[in-house]
């Protein structure tokens, strides 16, 4: 293998590694988003429902 081929091969491998890490980071971010959404849904189900009749005021004020 010539020096030029070795450099080109290393550049190719470096690019593949960057791509893989980028894809892995995207999947990890998607997973984090799904987990956060699930926690928010769970908290929303557990939250007491606001009292009716007073517009947008928070329930704790009544």
Q: What is the pLDDT of residues 33-50, one digit of tens each?
A: 999 999 999 999 998 876
State the pLDDT at residue 28: 95
* CB count in 10 Å sphere of residue 16: 10
User: What 3-state class would DSSP assign to 3?
Assistant: helix
Q: How far apart are CA 13 and CA 4, in angstroms?
A: 14
Pairwise CA distance, residues 61 & 57, whole Å: 7
Q: Confirm whether pTM is higher than 0.85.
A: no
Q: How far apart are the C-alpha atoms of 61 and 48, rounded to whole Å?
A: 13
Question: Is the model's pLDDT at 62 over the cut of 50?
Answer: no
* Contact indicator for 59, 50 with CB cutoff of 8 Å: yes
Q: Higher confidence at residue 6 or residue 52?
A: 6
pLDDT at 56: 58
């Amino acid at each position: 293998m010539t020096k030029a081929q070795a450099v080109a091969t290393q550049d190719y491998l470096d690019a593949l590694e960057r791509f893989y890490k980028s894809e892995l980071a995207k999947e990890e971010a998607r997973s984090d988003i799904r987990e956060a959404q699930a926690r928010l849904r769970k908290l929303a189900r557990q939250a007491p429902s606001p009292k009716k009749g007073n517009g947008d005021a928070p329930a704790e004020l009544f």
